[in-house]
Structure 1
Amino acid sequence: MPIGPGEQDVRRLQLTGGSTYTMSLPKPWVLTNNLSARDGIRVEWRPTGELSLTPLDVPEEVKTLVELNLDGIPEGALYDHLMGAYLSGAREISAKSENQFSREIRSEIRRFLRSTRGFEIGEQSETSVHLISLLNAGELPLHASLNRMYLLLSSLVRDTFEVLVGSDDELISDFEEREREVDGLHYLIERQVGSMLDSQQVARSLGLGRKQGVEHANLARSLERMMDHAHEMARLALETTPRPRLKSEEFPLSALPMWMDAQKSLMINLRTHDSYQIEEARDSLKAAQLSLKEHEEGLWTGRRKASRLLFEDRISESIRRICAYSRDFGEILLNMIAYDSIQRE
């Protein structure tokens, strides 16, 4: 029976030559992929027991296009629609309007290009723009993006720590730029994982199973959430005037070296998968969370200035939340270890 994408059919095995099992392929699938007799087909036996059939000459990424009619999009919502098209894995995005693009629309398009990786303007007119992705989803390894996110995060946390104990504010003057880069890498990983779920070719290029890809996206989300709170600490440090001087050896700042050591250990175990080290890091982070919570509750029992107490409380809360997301990061690593240890019979 002819079948199309998303449909199912049951086909019977046939024994030919006394030792070879054969099965006919759906004719619509053969025609769609421009196959003929004696063409090669890659057969992949997946860990789940399924067989994946892929024509040898199929391109790694199929051309995909999302068309946006700006006249049907609410004012101020263009960026969200562009980002949705990006995360969906579209290779090209076309935006058109019956009217000339306003300054706000062009600003939203530029903002989108700054927030993403690999997209450039292919064609542009007064009423339309055609965006093209120059980066294949399978080109950049996910672990490379995760490492870059971690380096940006840890550097901002370390520099903010130095500023809070008295160093020059110039250390964190670029905190907005660092956060934007982490956001861009997070979006890129989400896009790559989405493409993995649609294409086995992309998954093969990245060297990951689809389950592993989803967990990498979860890791990226945890790092992005940590960066949000690191960004908030940097903003508080720069915008609070006068800024209270905090002591490095006392809470809340004394918890930051604990976080740095624990998160470094977790990043190492993204490769080594040592469950003992992961649990040790998570226990350390849990202890830091409890100490910070106790510190915050005790802040308001004294008779200090409210402005200083509020500043210290907000810094402490951000550090505590960073520790919480690091514990989530460790939990995801444990989930990955458990999945890899599954024995299928």
Structure 2
Amino acid sequence: MEIRKVQITGGLSYIVSLPKQWIRDAKIQKNDPVGLVVQPDGSLLITPKIGGESAQRTRVFEVGAATDRTYLLRLLIGAYIAGFAIIRLDSKGRMPPFILQLVREFTQMAIGQEVIGETDTSITIKDLLNPAEMPFENTIRRMHLLARGMQQDAMVAIRGHDAALADDVVARDTEVDRLHWLVARQDNLIMSDATLARRMEIPVARAAYCFQVSRIIERIADHATRTAHNALLLIDRDIEAATLDRMDEASALALQIFSWSMEAFHTGEIEKANTTLERVRDLEEMTREIDTRVLRFEAVKAIPTGQVADSIRRIGEYSGDICESVINYTVGQTA
């Protein structure tokens, strides 16, 4: 940290000199304007970015016939989440057809990504989404509704032996993933450009908090997907009515805890978050009872039924994690 003394000029204005190396790196010339942004903690952000637009960062990947498809997809998702505005794939020879197909899949998976240029040896993908048009709160609300509906339908699929509904739940997990990637991307963009937080009207700390909750919801959706996979394993198996009823009761409680945790998140009610945490113990008792019942089943039914009970318990526990995040964040903001 460089320490600079505040001086007074003309008896009216307070001034402080700026580091010469920073001026050179930012290519600031005499009489160029800079932006001053007061941060929530009282510190002052000085930035050469005053036009309201973030820098258009570009990431380039060299690809070819030997490129691993899964690895490249992970790279594309990583570049998207990292906040690169432009992603370019370059090939020394003609672009392999499987890469063209992969790019199409990626642009369908990632929100705001579109191919803006394509030649025999190069593909350029650009982010066309204005981050301010997708507020964190709205995205997280959508994720909550999707994940909740997935678990509800997965349980219906178990009772109704409905393979089509279970498959639909599995397919919906992609929608939750792409929304989580969007939250992760926006959080990274804000971390690298504090002026974006001002344009989105969200403090940097709140953005990180939203990312944390988004990640938990994505895991809850994963367990709803796991429930759907186990529903498929139980399609031709009958489970006694009493056990099914208990599983439905446990799932309903888990989803109620989930909804309560999200209410606490949106309102910042510490007391509600704390009360909701207490209900997780009730859910754990219910799932233990289901596990005891499952011990009487033959293995082909016991294993998937036990995994469903475990996923129900994990949904409740992850919801408890949201409540803990609410308490930690809210206490920190009100200190």
TM-score in terms of structure 1 length? 0.87
Report which stretch shifted further, 158-167 or 214-223: 158-167
CA contact (8 A) 2:166 2:231 kept: no
For residue 174 of structure 1, give the secondary structure of its aligned residue in structure 2: helix
| Offset of residue 29 of structure 1 | 4.8
Amino acid of the residue matched to residue 192 of structure 1?
Q
| Offset of residue 138 of structure 1 | 3.1
Amino acid of the residue matched to residue 277 of structure 1?
K
- Is 1:178 the counterpart of 2:198? The answer is no
| Offset of residue 214 of structure 1 | 1.1
| Offset of residue 224 of structure 1 | 0.5
Pick aligned residue for 1:12 from 5, 11, 14: 5
- Is 1:314 the counterpart of 2:331? The answer is no
Residue of structure 2 equivalent to 1:123: 117
Residue of structure 2 equivalent to 1:275: 270
Residue of structure 2 equivalent to 1:5: none
How far apart, CA to CA, are the structure 2 residues paired with 1:25 and 1:65? Answer: 29
Give the root-mean-square deviation of aligned CA atoms.
2.4
- Is 1:218 the counterpart of 2:212? The answer is yes
Residue of structure 1 equivalent to 2:247: 252
Residue of structure 2 equivalent to 1:295: 290
Report which stretch shifted further, 110-119 or 11-20: 11-20
How far apart, CA to CA, are the structure 2 residues paired with 1:235 and 1:104? Answer: 28
Report which stretch shifted further, 276-285 or 168-177: 168-177
CA contact (8 A) 1:61 1:136 kept: no
CA contact (8 A) 1:138 1:192 kept: no
- Is 1:141 the counterpart of 2:141? The answer is no
| TM-aligned CA distance change 1:249 to 1:279, over 3 Å | farther
Q: Percent of counterpart pairs with the same letter?
A: 25
CA contact (8 A) 2:161 2:234 kept: no
| Offset of residue 40 of structure 1 | 5.0
Pick aligned residue for 1:161 from 150, 155, 160: 155
Q: Summarize deviations over 1:141-176 as a string: whole Å, max 9, x none.
A: 011110111111111111222222227554444223
How far apart, CA to CA, are the structure 1 residues paired with 2:66 and 2:82? Answer: 18
CA contact (8 A) 2:157 2:165 kept: yes
For residue 138 of structure 1, give the secondary structure of its aligned residue in structure 2: helix
- Is 1:328 the counterpart of 2:321? The answer is yes
Structure-to-structure mapping, 1:176-255, within 5 angstroms = 176-245=170-239, 247=241, 250-255=245-250
Q: Summarize deviations over 1:197-231 as a string: whole Å, max 9, x none.
A: 01112111222222211111110110000111101
| TM-aligned CA distance change 1:341 to 1:185, over 3 Å | same
For residue 68 of structure 1, give the secondary structure of its aligned residue in structure 2: strand
Amino acid of the residue matched to residue 14 of structure 1?
Q
CA contact (8 A) 2:113 2:128 kept: yes
Amino acid of the residue matched to residue 218 of structure 1?
Q
| TM-aligned CA distance change 1:177 to 1:36, over 3 Å | farther
| Offset of residue 134 of structure 1 | 0.2
Amino acid of the residue matched to residue 23 of structure 1?
V
| Structure 1 unaligned residues grouped into runs of 5+ | 1-7
Pick aligned residue for 1:22 from 11, 15, 18: 15
TM-score in terms of structure 2 length? 0.90
| Offset of residue 27 of structure 1 | 5.1
| Offset of residue 28 of structure 1 | 5.7
How far apart, CA to CA, are the structure 1 residues paired with 2:121 and 2:49? Answer: 41
Residue of structure 2 equivalent to 1:3: none
CA contact (8 A) 1:166 1:245 kept: no
For residue 122 of structure 1, give the secondary structure of its aligned residue in structure 2: strand
For residue 94 of structure 1, give the secondary structure of its aligned residue in structure 2: strand
Whose helix fraction is larger, Structure 1's or Structure 2's? 2
Amino acid of the residue matched to residue 92 of structure 1?
I
Amino acid of the residue matched to residue 186 of structure 2?
Q
How far apart, CA to CA, are the structure 1 residues paired with 2:64 and 2:154? Answer: 44
- Is 1:266 the counterpart of 2:256? The answer is no
Report which stretch shifted further, 165-174 or 9-18: 165-174
How far apart, CA to CA, are the structure 2 residues paired with 1:330 and 1:124? Answer: 47
For residue 52 of structure 1, give the secondary structure of its aligned residue in structure 2: strand
| Structure 2 unaligned residues grouped into runs of 5+ | none
How far apart, CA to CA, are the structure 2 residues paired with 1:212 and 1:67? Answer: 31
Residue of structure 2 equivalent to 1:340: 333
